[in-house]
Structure 1
Amino acid sequence: MTRRVPLSLIDFCTIYQDESPGESMQRSVELARKAEGLGFSRIWYAEHHNMRHIASSVPAVLIAHVAAHTEKIRLGAGGVMLPNHAPYTVAEQFGTLAELHPGRIDLGLGRAPGTDMNTLGRALRRSPDAAEHFPDDIVELRGYLSGHSRIPGVRAVPGEGTNVPLYVLGSSMYGASLAAQLGIPYAFASHFAPTRLKQATTHYRENFTPSEILSEPYVVAAVNVVADESEEAAAKQREKVERERVRKMITRSGSSVTEEQLDSLVASPQGRQMIDMLRYTATGTGEQVADYLEEFSETAKADELMISLQGPTYDHTLKAMDILAEAWGLDPNDTAGAPGDWARNL
């Protein structure tokens, strides 16, 4: 049988109803420990701001905490929104993590702010044009981590020589073109932005320029999973996930809606558009989910799948993780071809 691509996880550190951020982060530790025991390759955390349902606003701090409570699973940012930060600061942060946990740290880099424009300008105090410097910021960051700083006399300590693996994150042709030009891996956010998946990954592979760190293209594609013991149970869980997505996106301002109002919103063109963002979602039993992911990996031309486990409750997320791991045949002792192999000789 052809070897299946590695499976990794993205953890949004979801804050459920009547839960504190601290409780959410503790669950992230539990989830990582379980994922490590099942054989998932790594977990990434995404930088978001001013979102009352997500606690991963500072991935570097969260990674440090989770790494201290796990042993071997790779951990990373998926990603750090680089225009929000000075590249030098990011190099120091992730250089520190790499020194504390050698061979376990990844750094995905995004160009979007990860928040609304009001938070970006007034709270983060960043200029809306900061994203225009994204390519130069990546090159500067890579220089600090490799020990080839572009600024004479400035070194990142910690950071210098750690060569933390960098990934360009994206959901459009821009990220695909940039990753291909720089010769670094590309991660596509198809779990919530499915439209240009095929076009972007094809462009990246066809235009990839080998670099000193990567000789061949490497694609990570994100995909949602709703798994249960029966097809019917999974379908019901997916319906709950879709309704909750619409609720959260509609009520970001803090307002609430009744179930009847939510019915109308889900059926509206706006609601259907929000649900279509979850277009790439494997739903069903373990066998059905595995079959879907096999097809998706071919569609996405992916070397690795980044799984977003979707469930209305944390218990369902854990259950889905068990079902997926068994169906995919994950083995915690199998490290051949694991993510990060391409970076080990840096």
Structure 2
Amino acid sequence: MAIEVNGAASAAAKGRSGRRWHSRVLLRTSAILASLILACLVAIALPLTFPGLFVSAQQTAQVEAFFARNHQQQQQQSGHPSWDVPVTANGSAARLADDAGHTNNWAVLVSASKFWFNYRHMANTLGMYRTVKRLGIPDSHIILMLADDAACNSRNLSPGYVWAEPGRSLDLYGQNVEVDYRGYEVTVEAVLRLLTGRVPLNTPRSKRLESDSRSNVFLYMTGHGGDEFLKFQDYEEISAFDLADAIEQMWEKKRYHELFFMIDTCQANTMYSKIYSPHVIATGSSKKDQNSYSHGTDEELAIAMSDRFTLEILDYMESVNKTSSRSLQDL
């Protein structure tokens, strides 16, 4: 019995000794791991906190310039407009200041109607297209949206022509018209995506509004409308709220410096009554509960050639040239 008791005591002692050894091993291992983790954190934090101790100013400038160029290349490959990221005198990348001022112009011209009897809306838009192009905005900065169903319509006695007035002395269609959105492409969704920059990745540059915080944007719309809405091809309509929210997104995304909105439709002024974004000037052909009237009926074509408001604007603009100092107050 004594031998058995001594054996049990010896086994218990060995068990306690083994547990103490395992505990010491675990403690040492934990201490080593904690030291390694702390060393890694210090190694990561020090260069970020005190980069001058590890990397020279020249190396920092080279790295920043590399990533700036890489960002621009990615933007260009994706087809999206990119911010200019210049390298300053000390080599650091810097985004252009928001208050850099106006440096470029864009025009978005929208005819929201289709069908032969809406000839005047196409003529309105083409008249604006001719004017802004004559005054220096290139086709690359003009987005033209229209049904384009009048010039080659079977009822057009002058195929390939869209006249400005019944005398047929000025062809608005011409040889150099670049229609960017044609026919059923002219939708409310297309307009909103264009303005806000939310176009599909495969959208060509000719269908993109690549404006920025230094762009003055002219937005012109014409068609049939009413109190706070404009119809699109007798199928859908854009509301004053839709337009106001799109312009606000443009402002938040720095897609314009100043925006001039002009609309020719019935109760036109209600379409900009909800705009709340800064740096927007708006004008329309009619007040609430007022109609917008056509002008100049061609008896042979049996249609009105233009709308009175747009015609007066275009007549005035014929006296303006690229070097003119006139302002909206003179209009």
TM-score over 0.5 (shorter chain): no
Q: TM-score, normalised by structure 2?
A: 0.31
Which is richer in helix?
A: 1
Q: TM-score, normalised by structure 1?
A: 0.30
Higher relative contact order (CA 8 A, sep 6+): 1
| Greater Cα radius of gyration, structure 1 or 2 | 2
